[in-house]
Chains A and B, each alone.
Chain A
Amino acid sequence: TQLLEQSPQFLSIQEGENLTVYCNSSSVFSSLQWYRQEPGEGPVLLVTVVTGGEVKKLKRLTFQFGDARKDSSLHITAAQPGDTGLYLCAAGGGSGGSNYKLTFGKGTLLTVNP
């Protein structure tokens, strides 16, 4: 089972600030996904990264997959209160099939204060 470490565990910032959260492992992933979970709801997929060094942008969110495919980061520019939520990374190995399982990190709980 791959172990995913997310940091920081908690982050409270003011509106307009930038932030970065990290997802690290000693294992190599074939793909990594980032989800956001808002209170009272299930996680919602933000992005999937599959190639080492890949960078994807989703409005003010920038996702990067490490060159060695062992780590990933999520950078938010000019955070807004609507960005508040639990950010989860999830990763798995192999190329698919019934034995493929996603392992979730423990999440970063982000609070953006107005």
Chain B
Amino acid sequence: DTAVSQTPKYLVTQMGNDKSIKCEQNLGHDTMYWYKQDSKKFLKIMFSYNNKELIINETVPNRFSPKSPDKAHLNLHINSLELGDSAVYFCASSRAPQGLNSPLHFGNGTRLTVT
């Protein structure tokens, strides 16, 4: 029944490591996103894909690389993790690129802690 699922839910790793977060949606949506929520709960978009094509790429370090093998999946790979990468990362999907009739459906987040 889970609409947008992301794994893992918790990720604790050391500086310099490389890690990936996976996301899958079973809603049949065309558009998927990665958002970052910092310690002050501010939610900021990182990337958006529509039908496997990158359509939004905010100012994010090159160490972050999204990949969409198909429109139901959007993974996030992070190289050379830094302390400042610690945050909760949310995957989301919508029927079409964000607009009036395309609200976002979020996963439950991946809490990344870099030590």
Contacts and interface: CB of A to CB of B under 8 A. Distances in A.
Interface in A56-104: 86, 88, 90, 92, 94-102, 104
Interface in A2-31: 30-31
A31 B40 CA distance: 25
Sorting the interface of chain A by its residue count into under 10, 10 to 19, 20 to 34 or 35 or more gives 20 to 34
Nearest to B94: A102
Residue among B96, B105, B106 with max Cβ neighbours from chain A (10 Å): B106
B90 A100 contact: no
B41 A107 contact: yes
Interface residues of B, number: 27
B87 interface: no
B106 A104 contact: no
A41 B41 CA distance: 12
Nearest to B58: A101
A96 B92 CA distance: 17
Nearest to B45: A101
Contacts of B103: 33, 45, 48
